Structure 1
Amino acid sequence: MRLLFKHLAVVLVTVAVVSGKAGAVTNAGVFTLQQAIDFALENNPEISIMQARIDQADAQLGQALASFYPQVKAGLSYQHSDNPAQAFSMIIAQRRLNLNGGDFNHPGGVDNYRPQVTATYSLFRGGQDYYLSQAAELGVETSELEKTATRHHLINNVTAAFYGYLAAQDAHELSLRSIEAVQSELDQSRVRYDAGTLLKSDVLSLEVQLAEAKDAQIQAANAIEIAMAMLKTLLGLSSEQAFTISENLSQPLPAAPAEFDALLSQALSQHPGLKAAEKRVAIAEQQLNAAQAGYLPRADAFVSYGSDSKDLAFSSNRDNVTAGVTVEVDVFSGFATQEKVKKAEHELTAAREAARQMRLRVENQVKTAQLRLREALNREQVTSVSVTAAEEALRLVKEQRNAGVVTVTRYIEAEVARDRAKTRDISARYDALRAEAELNQATGFWN
């Protein structure tokens, strides 16, 4: 039975835990496995986090697309000057020039208010706007794939914790039956010992067996509580909220897995984590293109409409329009463009290596999950036979024990063998179901 507890401990350590958020109700209801998965996908905060990242990527895409629209600004400027050249230009702009009066060399202080609206439009930026918009679109797709990968990971974790809980329940029931059987035999043995027909050592052996059964029962009860706490966390429930599980481990075993090449082909075509890594490579390529576009010239068109006056009074008689095109190119930027290109190249290299690493990881996950599923199914075939044999052996030993032809030691050995066989069978069934969930995650099977 300790073998089963070891398997349960591995599950509770390896399942990725995410913070749960408390609900308003006190009882979450009764869950089947599918209902638990659906509830977790709806309430686990990790899913909300990934959705927020998708929304963030959408906003970044909108920000990138803003470069393709005209930029319109409204402003108000004020100037005061007694500089003859500036004052003279202000008076002309205000339509107040009088050639017959005034001293142009000493105009005095002149005030100029200019409310204006300016529109600019980027005609060409070396393709930077296009490349950055493409990268932003890929960013949205990447965020959606990462959310899908998170969903798959959560489904696998809920499945593992769910089966861990059920396995702990079966182990607990087995320990209770063992305690009951050993206690009954111990009571009979004490009577026979008092009657002088049984050795003291036989009674002591049964007492040791009873203590071991009680120890197993304590471990199983604790494993149930730990698995329940894990499930609450994954489902996004607080520790105060209660729920129950309506399934048991009598459900059918999974089918034997397909060949590795077929599973790997499926994983490479639809694994969301791998697809997201490939998208990040494409993003890095677009960002490199945008950085290299910094070497090219930039062209912008602009138009400005405003009015100059000595006060804030607006008049269409004093309005004016200015329009034009500016073209500029960086002759020397302190090597800034060059360094941006180098940075983008290194980021592309890192993205490609990350994608290669993800592919290797997916290959390993698929192979490992396939081998674990095959091993668990083969073990279950063996353990189911051993359980039948152990049950029959214990039945025969009990009959021989009642007939007084075998010692209590032989009876204890038979019962220990029966309990170990059942424990291995429970572990094999649980491992098969969990391995199937791991294989589904590795191949990207879940939607």
Structure 2
Amino acid sequence: MKKNIIKLLPLAFFTVNIYALNLDEAIKLGLENNNSYKKQQYIYDEAKENVVKSRGNFLPTLDLSYTYNANKEDLGDGKDNANASAIISYSLFNGLQDKYNLEASKDSEKSSKYTLEATKHDLVYNIKARYISYLKSIKNIETLNNAYKLLQKQYEDSLNKFEQGLLAKNDLLQVNAQMLQAKQNLARAKADSKIAWYDLKNILGGTLSKEEKIEDLERINTFESIFNEEELYLRSEVKSLKKSIEALGNQKDANTYGSNLPKVSLDLKYTKLGEDASLNVNESEIENQSTATVNFKWNLYNGGKDKSETIILQKKISQAKEDLESLKLDIKLQYEKALEEYEVSKLNYETAVVSLEQSEENYKIVNNRFKEGISTTTDLINANFLLSQAKQSFDSAYYDRFLAKASLYRIFEK
């Protein structure tokens, strides 16, 4: 089987009740209300603000200060005095640290954006999976309920025969035991369905109402879709990790250059002096001060901390690169598994269709023979059991095709 370009006939999700919640609406609800997805959006917003914050290092800063000293005459000859200052500071050169930190924040912002995209695709797939799981649980209830009703009918018929002396008591008890077991199975299926419903509700952010009907999925016109294996490594997770590696590289450069190059800054300061809290002046000889200061700083040695930090960041880069290779292997495995599941789901569905048709025909034959007294109670119980199993297998195979298709769509971010 060719793996470079795979032609598939995926199933379309189709609605059957315009007044019920369909899959597309469920996905929309999930994207609007799912808590984990909303959290990831906030993380992305935070990353964007970090870029703005990093750009602030290229802009000047303005500081204001005020000092007032009150001196008592009996403590000396000092007089009250006050001063207020305005200082504008601007970094002329910061050893390229600001430049690389800004690039690192930009890479982190892009990485977060890709992570958000990956989270979105994960959420869409998980909504589909839970939606399908709930539909399967509903079908299972229908199947087990039908099996229970057939056993009820068989028990009534068997009871009539027993009262007429045409059926042994152990055969009647056997039917009753099977009927009670079917009732237990039905109760278990209803409980499982409730759990599946709450699971779907939670992933939709708790917005699902109990009165809301869930539409079934139906196969309509098939269409050909092409998946190219080369697109596997264009996944958002891969892009995100690559950007994280670039961010670490820029952090390493910021640390390396920032520790080895000098830093130069300019301060412009204006100070107004006064003899009281309101900065009033009684003596004309007091003058305000204006100064310009150039600060030059070059660290020649800080105990080797900068060197160690550079080595740490390089090791983090190496770790991230290993994570990237591991991620690619995982994605490849996901693809192989999803492809096999898709092929198996198609085969299982074709087999389940035939099995269900034959099981239905078999039950009709055995039931008629039982009424005529030819088949035994055990024969009819077995026929009922086979029919239920065939219906469960059919429903499972039917929905597994949709799930396999959804899995492939998730892998290729379709």
Q: Where on the TM-score scale, by shorter chain, does this alignment land: which range?
A: 0.7 to 0.9
1:210 is matched with 179
2 CA distance for matches of 1:162 and 1:131?
46
2 CA distance for matches of 1:68 and 1:58?
17
| TM-score when normalising by structure 2 | 0.86
Question: Is contact 2:23-2:131 (8 Å) kept?
Answer: yes
2:157 is matched with 188
2:406 is matched with 437
1:173-208 alpha-carbon deviations (Å, 9 max, x no partner):
111111111111111111112212223332222223
1 CA distance for matches of 2:34 and 2:304?
47
Which of 272, 278, 282 is the aligned partner of 2:242? 278
Aligned pairs (5 A) from 1:16-415: 30-77=20-67, 113-237=82-206, 241-251=209-219, 262=228, 264-269=229-234, 271-293=235-257, 294-311=259-276, 312-313=279-280, 318-415=287-384
Q: Name the SS of the counterpart of 1:330 in structure 2.
A: coil
2 CA distance for matches of 1:70 and 1:397?
91
2 CA distance for matches of 1:176 and 1:218?
9
2 CA distance for matches of 1:80 and 1:244?
74
1:96-122 alpha-carbon deviations (Å, 9 max, x no partner):
xxxxxxxxxxxx757764422221211
1:248-285 alpha-carbon deviations (Å, 9 max, x no partner):
244459879867xx2x422312x222221111111111
Question: Is contact 2:70-2:81 (8 Å) kept?
Answer: yes
Question: Is contact 2:44-2:109 (8 Å) kept?
Answer: yes
1:308-342 alpha-carbon deviations (Å, 9 max, x no partner):
45552379982333224332211111222122212
1 CA distance for matches of 2:362 and 2:213?
34
2 CA distance for matches of 1:418 and 1:275?
50
Letter in 2 for 1:325: V
Letter in 2 for 1:120: S
Give the count of matched residue pairs: 387
2 CA distance for matches of 1:210 and 1:160?
32
Question: Is contact 1:31-1:243 (8 Å) kept?
Answer: no
| TM-score when normalising by structure 1 | 0.80
Taking a change above 3 Å as real, the CA distance of residues 282 and 306 of structure 1, as seen in their structure-2 partners, is same
Unaligned stretches of 5+ in structure 1? 1-28, 82-107
Question: Is contact 1:256-1:373 (8 Å) kept?
Answer: no
Q: Name the SS of the counterpart of 2:167 in structure 1.
A: coil
Unaligned stretches of 5+ in structure 2? 1-18, 72-76
2 CA distance for matches of 1:334 and 1:76?
38
1 CA distance for matches of 2:189 and 2:223?
29
Deviation at 1:212, TM superposition (A): 2.5
Letter in 2 for 1:338: K
**Percent of aligned positions that are identical:** 24
